[in-house]
Amino acid sequence: MDTHAAHGTEHGHAHHEIGFIRKYIFSEDHKIIGIQFLFTSIIFLGLGGILALLVRIQLAWPHAEIPILSDYFKDNAGRMSEATYNMLFTMHASVMIFFVIIPFLTGAFGNFTIPLMIGAGDMAFPKLNMMSYWILWPAFVMISFSFFVDGGAASSGWTSYPTLASTTMNAGEGFHSPAAPGSGHGQIFWLASLLCVGVGSMMGSVNYITTIINMRAPGMTLYRMPMTIWAMFITAILQAFALPVLTVALILQVLDKTIGSTFFMPDGLTFGNWSIDAGGGQPLLWQHLFWFYSHPAVYIMILPSMGMVSDVIATFARRPLFGYRAMIYSIAGIAGLGFIVWGHHMFQSGMDPRLGTGFMLATIMIALPSAVKVFNWLGTIFRGNLQFTTPMLFALGFVSLFIIGGLSGIFMAATPVDIYIHDTYFIVAHIHYVLFTSSLFGIFAGIYFWFPKMFGRMMNEPLGKVHFFLTFILGNCVFFPMHMVGVAGLRRRIPDITAGALEGRLLPLNEFMSISALLLGTVQLIFLANFLYSLFLGPKASRNPWNSNTLEWQTGDPVPGHGNFETVPVVQCGPYEYGEHGGKDNCPQTEKCAVPSSH
């Protein structure tokens, strides 16, 4: 089972010329597809970032005119309208989750690393792989176009709860919604584009599972796979089981919005003077279906980062990964528990409170495998020989800030405490510690780490370190005070915090966070400049610039061609043989290990 077929060699010797379009655009090569995912994700990261900055501007200066864009808001005296604000945070979250983090992790890194790190020539289904990328393009077009439709883009939150999101006019009265301006056409585009993204992820996950099971190089047993691959494998399984549920939910809401079905619409809804005739549905059903996918999706957005960070830390600590098997079991544990905790998003939703107790117990237990992972990373750098390269810094930053994100999760898991902090900025702090300072830090680590393998050039180290230095400080300046304002009672998703009696006193902290956010956004230009400069003018990379053990660094050329390996690699040892190895401090997986470590 663990030896692969002749697939790699077959491609490796096929030196027939292929044209530019087949090679770089409609490519079947997993590396090119991965790079395509990478580029589109970086572009959408920019878009999502700009949306976030607009949100932050409104939060800090709720009554001020918006600079530059004041013409766009001239109906509102140059100020941002409340509906626009709702649209901005909705689209910020949707773009960042579905068009940035997931495509980065499973699309870019999943595609690029899986065949290379298991010693395969390509994915099991190269054409399906190509399709998993190109099916995203309708989604890109629809989500970008939705900003310009009547009523604006979706504005019911990335969670799109009915009946706010799903209400539409009676048949024949058009697709405007009496519930909110953005829940008309914009919401339909949102649903349709997410459907495409989901189908794309589904194709990817089927492909990853098959590739990892069937196409490993000789000697690459399951317990010799690097953590990146384990994480991608388990993530793909999560996606394959959870995505169908989201797909169904999306289709049901599309039907509610277009042909007038009422899956999520109960009897007797009245908006102003406008009543809906039909009913009989259940708004809570959407929440169950949505979170049954979207809670595992949270792990889809963090597990691959955890895998990549494990590899980066072991490489630059020059130490074997501490507790390799415990790391695998804890990823599997997080994924398994991830399926039975979706209800913790719904403690205050009106579901039976007795369910809350069960969901709480399962949720709190997820902290356990997460804690084990943190301790194991600490165990890995213990007695190491730490080399603070840019990827290592981002990886250590990941560990440091994931601790905060993990610990703050326990507050929300505790049902009575959640009564108070549910839907406050405390949860906003938590999700950003997990997604920005953890997932995205993992992504940055991955980009700096595999850039030489992707493009054959090195990224600039001093610039990378400046990027890390500023991102680490400013990231904490933006997101840490959110814990405090959350505890102080600041609700999320409000454009003007001075409306109530309780929240207005927090405006100075909001201003501090927003200024930090604007700086944080600007700092990312350093990364962009470094990325683009290094792409064309960076110093040429050697085959294995980090002296890493895993297979992708053992290819013949610095940038392997289609087919990856000249000859099928034969794996002789595990991926983490760092430390004393006969005068060297590592032993690549293709070599027989002189001093095998004890595990």
Partner 1 sequence: MGNKFWSILFGVVMAACFIGFAISPFMGWWRPDGISSHAGDVDFLFDVILGITAFFFVLTEGILVYFMWHYASEEGKHPVSPAKDFPNVLKPLAGLLTSQHHVELAWTLIPAAILIYIAVAQVDTWANIKYESRKSHTESPTASLQVAVSARQFEWRMRYPTVARYKKWQNDKKSSDAKTVDEFKKDYESFGKVPQADDVHVVNELHIYQDHQIMVWLSTRDVIHSFNLPNFRVKQDALPGKLIPVWFKTKEGKECWNTTWDADKHRYVDGVDPKTGKVAMDASGNPSKEFMYDIACAELCGWGHYRMIGRVFVHQNEADFLNWLSKAEANNKLRTPDR
Cβ proximity to partner 1: between 390 and 589 the closer is: 390
Q: Which is nearer to partner 1, 42 or 54 (CB)?
A: 54
Give least dist CB 4 to partner 1, A. Answer: 31
- If you compute the radius of gyration of the chain from its CA atoms, what whole number of angstroms results? 24
> Residue 274, SS3?
strand
C-alpha 10, offset from chain centre = 34
Task: Rule CB under 8 A: say whether 322 interacts with partner 1.
Answer: yes
Residue 32 contacts partner 1 per CB under 8 A: no
Nearer to partner 1 among residue 166 and residue 211 (C-beta): 166
> From the list 50, 285, 365, 515, which residue makes contact with partner 1 (rule: CB under 8 A)?
365
Report yes or no: 386 and 392 within 8 Å, Cβ to Cβ.
Answer: yes
The one among 82, 511, 566, 591 contacting partner 1 by CB under 8 A: 82
Looking at residues 325 to 354 of the shown chain, list those that interact with partner 1 (rule: CB under 8 A): 326, 348-350, 353-354
Cβ distance 113 to 555 under 8 Å?
no
Q: How many residues sit close enough to partner 1 to count as binding (CB under 8 A)? A: 116
Output 98 or 479, the one with its CB closest to partner 1. Answer: 479
- Tell me how crowded residue 556 is: count the other CB atoms within 10 A of its CB: 12
Q: Are 298 and 360 in contact (CB under 8 A)?
A: no
Q: How far is the CB of 10 from partner 1 (least distance, A)?
A: 39
Residues with Cβ within 8 Å of 189's Cβ and at least 6 positions away in sequence, in order, are: 142, 143, 145, 146, 149, 153, 154
Give burial (CB, 10 Å; 0-12/13-18/19+) of 564.
Answer: buried
Structure tokens at 516: 């930090």
Residue closer to partner 1, measured from CB, 133 or 394: 394
CB-CB neighbours of 151 under 10 Å:
20
Helical H segments across 172-302, by residue range: 185-214, 227-258, 283-300
Please state the three-class secondary structure of 398-455 as a single string: HHHHHHHHHHHHHHHHCHHHHHHHCCEHHHHHHHHHHHHHHHHHHHHHHHHHHHHHHH
For position 314 contacting partner 1 by CB under 8 A, the verdict is no
Which one of 199, 334, 360, 551 is in contact with partner 1 (CB under 8 A)? Answer: 360
Contact pick of 128, 340, 407, 593 for partner 1 (by CB under 8 A): 407
> In this structure, what are the phi and psi dihedrals at residue 29, rounded to the nearest 5 degrees?
-75, 125
3-state secondary structure of 585: strand
Q: Which is nearer to partner 1, 17 or 352 (CB)?
A: 352
304 near 106, Cβ under 8 Å? Answer: yes
Site for partner 1, residues 84 to 143, rule: CB under 8 A: 86
Structure tokens at 28: 């079947």
- Report the C-alpha gap between 384 and 381 in whole angstroms: 5
Per CB under 8 A, contacts with partner 1 among 501-530 are 501-506, 509
**Complete DSSP assignment for 135-155:** THHHHHHHHHHGGGSTT-B--
User: String of b and e for 408-434 (b: at least 16 CB within 10 Å)?
Assistant: bbebbbbbeebeebbebbbbbbbbbbb
- Per-residue x/- marks for partner 1, 569-598, CB under 8 A? ---------xxx----x-----------xx
d(CA 78, CA 64): 8
- The verdict on 318 binding partner 1 (CB under 8 A) reads yes
Q: Which stretch binds partner 1 (CB under 8 A): 105-113, 236-244, 364-372, 525-533?
A: 364-372
Among residues 500, 528, 529, 557, the one that binds partner 1 under rule CB under 8 A: 500
Q: Which of 170, 221, 258, 385 binds partner 1 (CB under 8 A)?
A: 385
Q: Which CB, 521 or 596, lies closer to partner 1? A: 596
Question: To the nearest whole angstrom, how small is the minimum distance from the Cβ of residue 418 to partner 1?
Answer: 8
Which residue number, 481 or 563, has a Cβ lying nearer to partner 1? 481
Which alpha helices (H) appear in 456-503, and where do they start and end? 461-487
Asked if 368 interacts with partner 1 (CB under 8 A), we say yes
Residue span binding partner 1 (CB under 8 A) among the ranges 80-88, 192-200, 202-210, 302-310: 80-88
Nearest approach, Cβ of residue 434 and partner 1 (Å): 15
Question: Binding to partner 1 by residue 170, rule CB under 8 A?
Answer: no
424-463 footprint of partner 1 as x/- string (CB under 8 A): x---------------------------------------
The two tokens of residue 578 are 């760092």
Alpha helices by DSSP H, listed for 62-135, are: 82-94, 102, 111-118, 126-134
Q: Residue 315 Cβ, how far from partner 1 at the closest point, in Å?
A: 13
156 binding partner 1? (CB under 8 A):
yes
Residue 228 or residue 437: which is nearer to partner 1 going by CB?
437
CA distance 193 to 212: 29
540 binds partner 1 (CB under 8 A): no
277 binds partner 1 (CB under 8 A): no
Which residue stretch of 6-14, 23-31, 67-75, 382-390 sits at the interface with partner 1 (rule: CB under 8 A)?
382-390
Rounded to a whole number of angstroms, the minimum distance from the CB of residue 533 to partner 1 is 21
Residue 116 Cβ, how far from partner 1 at the closest point, in Å? 26
Q: Does 164 bind partner 1 (CB under 8 A)?
A: yes
Q: With beta carbons less than 8 A apart as the criterion, state whether 387 and 578 touch.
A: no
Ranges within 479-498 binding partner 1 (CB under 8 A): 480-481, 483-485, 487-489, 491, 493-497
403 counts as binding partner 1 under rule CB under 8 A = yes
Q: Does 157 bind partner 1 (CB under 8 A)?
A: yes
CB closer to partner 1 out of 206 and 487 = 487
> Could you tell me the two tokens for 159?
């969670």
Instruction: Give 522's contacts (C-beta < 8 A, 6+ positions apart).
Output: none
